[in-house]
Amino acid sequence: MKGICRILAICCAVTSSAQVAPSVADSASFRVLVLDALSGKPQANVTIPYLCDEIPHSTTTQATTDGNGVAAVPYSCKPGNKIELDAVPKIGKEGCGGGVEATLEEIMSTGVVAHPDSAGSIWCPTKISRKLTPVPGQVILFVKKPTWWQSHIAG
């Protein structure tokens, strides 16, 4: 009888601890991969500023890509709200397109590939981005070195 009581006590403890587990949105994070829009090579040391599209939002949250061009971004937005991401490389390159706006559900279920030629772009080509397919749990952003014209005349 003591053995059965002990097993029941363990089962109750396991069940009650599972019920207080945090929700997916409380503990979720996803990957951001930054690629060069011309070569497709991963870009290290790119700052990824991010914020929730809710009021109030912090404008100082950011992550930095590692040697493989990947940064882990924690999702701290309220469920259903979008997170806005952008790529800000160090010296010599600029972000392509206007970044990405997506919900956690969209990122985790299908993944997101940014449009490097969207509004705010520096005339980034889509040669590399057209060949990529979204990966669930990952956002892909692009950067490139501006042409002489872009850096001297247009920008």
Residue 42 lies in a domain: yes
Q: How many domains does the chain have?
A: 1
Residue 30 lies in a domain: yes
Residue 5 lies in a domain: no
| Domain with 71 in it | 22-154
Residue 16 lies in a domain: no
Locate tokens 């397109």: which residue? Answer: 97
Judge contact between 110 and 136, C-beta under 8 A.
yes
Residue 7 lies in a domain: no
Give tens-digit pLDDT for 60-91. Answer: 789 999 999 999 998 888 888 899 999 999 87
Residue 132 lies in a domain: yes
DSSP structural state of residue 105: H
CATH number at residue 80: 2.60.40.10
Give tens-digit pLDDT for 99-140. Answer: 899 999 999 999 999 999 876 556 788 999 999 999 999 999
